[in-house]
Amino acid sequence: MPKISIIYASGMGRTRQMAEAIANGAKTIDGVDVLLKDAYDASIEDVKDADAVVLGGSTYNYKLIKSMDPFLKQLEKLDLKDKIGVAFGSYGWSGESIPTLISRMKSFGMKVIEPGTIAIQVPDAATIEKCFRLGRTVAQGLTA
Ligand SMILES: Cc1cc2nc3c(=O)[nH]c(=O)nc-3n(C[C@H](O)[C@H](O)[C@H](O)COP(=O)(O)O)c2cc1C
What's 100's domain CATH number?
Answer: 3.40.50.360
23 residue type, one letter: A
The pTM for the full model equals 0.97
Name which of 125, 62, 141, 70 is nearest 99 in CA terms: 62
Number of domains composing the chain = 1
Rounded CA gap, 81 and 107, in Å? 9
Confidence category of residue 144, pLDDT binned at 50, 70, 90: confident
Share of the chain above pLDDT 90, in %: 98
Given the CA of residue 93, which atom of ligand 1 is nearest to it?
Answer: 11
Mean pLDDT over all residues of the chain? 97
Residue to mutate (ligand 1; options 68, 91, 96, 122; most atoms within 8 A of CB):
91
Average pLDDT over every residue of 75-103 = 96
> Which of 120, 134, 125, 126 is closest to 54 using CA atoms?
134
Answer for the pair 116, 98: CB distance below 8 angstroms, yes or no.
Answer: yes
Give the pLDDT band of residue 55 (cuts 50, 70, 90).
Answer: very high
93 pLDDT band, cuts 50/70/90, is very high
φ and ψ at residue 98, rounded to 5 degrees: -70, -55
What average pLDDT does this structure show over 40-63?
Answer: 97
Ligand 1 neighbour 59 (Cβ under 6 A): yes
- pLDDT exceeds cutoff 90 at 6: yes
**CB of residue 120 inside a 6 A radius of ligand 1:** no
Domain containing 37 equals 3-143
What's the CA gap between 71 and 103, in Å, rounded?
15
